[in-house]
Chains A and B, each alone.
Chain A
Amino acid sequence: MSAALWALLFAAAAAVGQHVYTNADVENGARLYSASCATCHGPRGDAVRGVTLFGGSFRRATTDDEVARIILGGIPGTSMPPNKYSEVEAGMIVAYLRGAARGGVTTTAGDATRGRAVFTGKGKCTTCHSETSRMAPSLDDVGVVRRPLEIEQALVDPNADINIDYRFVRAVTKSGETITGRLLNQNSFSVQILDSKEQLRSLDKTELKTFAIKTTSEMPSYRGVLDSQEIADVVTYLITLRGRR
């Protein structure tokens, strides 16, 4: 991450009493995270039910100091144990949670204002992505849950890493009905979807003639549709979206 972008990301944080971190802090924090926290929280910070560490906000803490206190002291009555770190080390982990998880830079510098125009205009992104969209992720906090490089990849090569929450299925019933929809859950006997009419449906697998999870994304590729500058602009716009947390 460039120093300029780093400073931009953390200027607001420092203004409300948060800490400013160096790249070395983040790198050290990543090592500590991988060697300790990832055991339970997973490499993407989402392995504990109901907890998203890389989301930029926390249920039990607001300030960096509060996050560090939880890392050091644990949460009594839960599986979150106390940890033997120094305060400096806990701060490094906070740095990683706050910054590196959404770090990375695109290859081209972009402009957020131009990006917003592409997003709502030429790109037609709002056709699927809105605050109320059900069949595509709302992007209102994408700036805190996705890194710029991941966003860029999603734009040009959406099949490379399909969001597990937005996998789609195609099923044909024994009576001949074709059903498509977003996969919500499944087990050996049934599958739960949000179908193309945005109805919640539970399908009995024994009643299906065919059933398959699509290996391609519903998201179209913007390679060749938007030029590299427009893509950089959209990415730059999207990382400004930080939700209403």
Chain B
Amino acid sequence: MKRWLGGPERTAPLLVVLLTVTATAQVTFDRLLHTSAEPGNWLTYSGNLQSQRHSLLTQVTPANVKSLELQWAFQSLSLEKFEATPIALDGVLYTVQPPNDVVALDGATGRTYWTYSYKPSPLTRPCCGRVNRGLAILGDTLFMGTIDGRIIALDAKSGREIWNVAVEGVRAEAGYNFTVAPLVVRNTIIVGTAGGEFGIRGFIAGFDSATGKEKWRFYTIPAKGEPGNETWAKDSWMRGGAAVWVTGSYDPELNLTYWGTGNPGPDWNGDDRAGDNLYSDSVVALDPDTGKIKWHFQFTPHDEFDYDSTQVPVLADIQWQGRARKVIVWGNRNGFWYVLDRATGEFLFGKPYTKVTWTTGLDAKGRPQNQVTPSAEGLVVYPHLAGGTNWYSPSYSPHTGLFYLSTWQDGHATFAKGPVEFVEGRPFIGTFPIGTTLSINGTQVNRRMPGEGHGAILALDPSTGTKRWEFTMSDITDAGVLTTASDVLFSGGREGFFFALDAKTGALLWKAPVAGIVQAAPMSYAIRGRQYVAIAAGNSLYSYALRP
């Protein structure tokens, strides 16, 4: 493992060379393929195309992390949820102030270079807040999907709008919206549509980076006559959801892009959509140049609990039963974590990481057995309606070989099956479940009793299927996880701390109070030989570095 910016294998001279080379260069796709060559930058939502959210910077170590100090805080001009991960390029951070303002900041001081303001249509109908998870970059251009269903390209140096396109069939008033940070593959900007609570028909689409012209579209629900359409009763496929709202991954050797899909609609009453409801709650492997599907794996067939599979597909190369395997590691909202062969979609294993009662377990192919269904009176089911995990970014460390996942333990909800009627632009969900944690949703107030749910970060070994350690929190968490090659893990939660754990043991090494809950994921970057770790919390973005 190559180390950067200090530690026992200090390579500062090489870093200087790299910064010199890249300081004025555009972000080519080749650079996105080789982010490990420039760990001082953070060029995609999850840090690399494998979505490992793992930094090769090693200046911050388990031994010195307690000396981290706040360098600056950027307060957004918004009280809406701050879920974006910044892009870092040559000392500049690019992030999204909710709902869709793009901000360029100096990564060393937090001072603003420019702001691009975008006012979305007031007709937009997001289910869960006007959120945005970040940007993509290619060349000198930043790309953003908007909450009212547009794709926008901006000049990274000035914030000038280069193009701003409406997407065919995407009507904000019908519930379509983009919250996902785009993924760049060659000159294609890939996004998926959110709106799974409004009876939309989900899709993933590729757009030309130069013009915004749509190149291909993959509907996450097959049309009449296409394979998979038979898994939807009658015309339920037309409004079956399967939305996409978390960024996918890319394997250059296989030339496949992987995306997780959301719940079938209506969420909590599947009576009118008998069948497995493909490709809801699935991972789909697509050709990034055509959008053609190569394989799929469905985690939760005929879901009636809103167990979206909109998680970040984490690509790892591991040893499995004595041989090297290229896998996807997947912490699913349904309470299981999975390892799949990413060339074929073959199920290697799936195990519960939290209490699960909606199924008695998985068969040899990963299909859940004896699924329960909500009753009219209400049925208590584990995990919670928000899941055992959700969209929170996991991390995979090639250094430890472990997969790190933010989870909710002991969460459950009462699911009742009620009448549903489809009316365009209205929620198409069924009866909202009563969860154990809803009454204090989104606050730092925690009066929860043991057994009513709490957060935990788990370290899971995909080579053996075992849990290595668990860091338990009193409150629940919506925070993503970052690991570094020096074996420091960063995360947060609703308790209002940004903290560091030892990635090998789970021991708490450091914590800092932040003004609000952490519902974003950390990232790391470097400027002039100094490593920074940044996190959005509350309504601000914070950046930390070691005391000089």
Which residues of A are in contact with B by a Cβ distance under 8 Å?
31, 34-36, 38-40, 42-44, 46-49, 74, 76, 79, 81-85, 164-165, 167, 183-189, 213, 215
Contact = CB atoms under 8 A, between A and B. Distances in A.
Given A35-B420, A35-B429, A43-B434, A185 B130 contact: no
B474 A187 contact: yes
B495 A42 contact: no
A34 B449 contact: no
Contacts of A79: 80, 129-130
A141 B305 CA distance: 36
Contact of B122 (A42, A49, A74): A74
Contact of B475 (A34, A38, A188): A188
A47 B431 contact: no
Contact of A35 (B80, B122, B173, B431): B431
Interface stretch (B89-97, B353-361, B436-444): B436-444
B442 A49 contact: yes
Given A31-B419, A84-B173, A43 B438 contact: yes
Main secondary structure, interface of B, reads loop
Nearest to B438: A42
Contacts of B497: 187
A36 B431 CA distance: 9
Contact of A215 (B432, B445, B449): B449
Contact of A47 (B124, B439, B475): B439
15 contacts: A34-B431, A35-B418, A35-B420, A35-B427, A40-B129, A43-B433, A44-B439, A47-B441, A74-B122, A81-B124, A164-B439, A186-B446, A186-B447, A187-B446, A215-B449
Given A84-B173, A187-B495, A188-B473, A36 B441 contact: no
B272 interface: no
Contacts of B123: 82
Q: Of A35, A40, A74, A85, which is in contact with the most chain B CB atoms at under 10 Å from its CB?
A: A35
B426 interface: yes
B427 A84 contact: no
Interface of B: 80, 122-130, 173, 197, 418-420, 423-434, 438-447, 449-450, 472-475, 495-497, 511
Nearest 5 A/B pairs, CB to CB? A38-B432, A187-B495, A84-B425, A188-B474, A36-B427
B443 A49 contact: yes
Contacts of B127: 39
A118 B66 CA distance: 60
A83 to B, nearest CB: 7
A31 B266 CA distance: 14
Contact of B496 (A31, A35, A164, A187): A187
A184 B444 CA distance: 11
B430 A39 contact: no
Nearest to A215: B449
A35 B425 CA distance: 12
A164 B442 CA distance: 16
Nearest to B432: A38
Contact of B427 (A39, A186, A188): A39
Given A79-B80, A82-B122, 4 more contacts: A35-B429, A81-B122, A164-B439, A213-B450
A223 to B, nearest CB: 24
Nearest to B427: A36
Contacts of A44: 438-439
A185 B444 CA distance: 8
A23 to B, nearest CB: 17
Contact of A186 (B197, B428, B442, B474): B474
Contacts of A83: 426
Contact of A164 (B80, B433, B447): B447
Contacts of B419: 31
Contacts of A38: 432
A28 to B, nearest CB: 11
A103 B56 CA distance: 60
Contacts of A183: 447
B173 A39 contact: no
B122 A76 contact: yes
Contacts of A213: 447, 449-450
Nearest to B174: A84
A153 B396 CA distance: 50
B434 A36 contact: no
A81 B425 CA distance: 11
Contacts of B495: 187-189
A44 B474 CA distance: 24
Contacts of B474: 186-188
A165 B447 contact: yes
A62 B125 CA distance: 26
Contact of A31 (B173, B418, B424, B443): B418
A47 B438 contact: yes
Nearest to B431: A34
Nearest to B497: A187
Contacts of A165: 447
A81 B125 contact: yes
A96 to B, nearest CB: 13
A38 B440 CA distance: 14
A79 B446 CA distance: 23
A184 B443 CA distance: 13
Contacts of B424: 84
Contacts of A76: 122
A81 B445 CA distance: 26
B475 A46 contact: no
B243 to A, nearest CB: 14
A38 B430 CA distance: 11
Contacts of B438: 42-44, 47
B122 A167 contact: no
Nearest to A185: B445
Contacts of A39: 127-128, 197, 427, 429, 432
A35 B426 contact: yes
Contacts of B496: 187
A185 B443 CA distance: 11
A164 B426 CA distance: 32
A243 B127 CA distance: 34
Contacts of B125: 81
A183 B474 CA distance: 14
B161 to A, nearest CB: 23
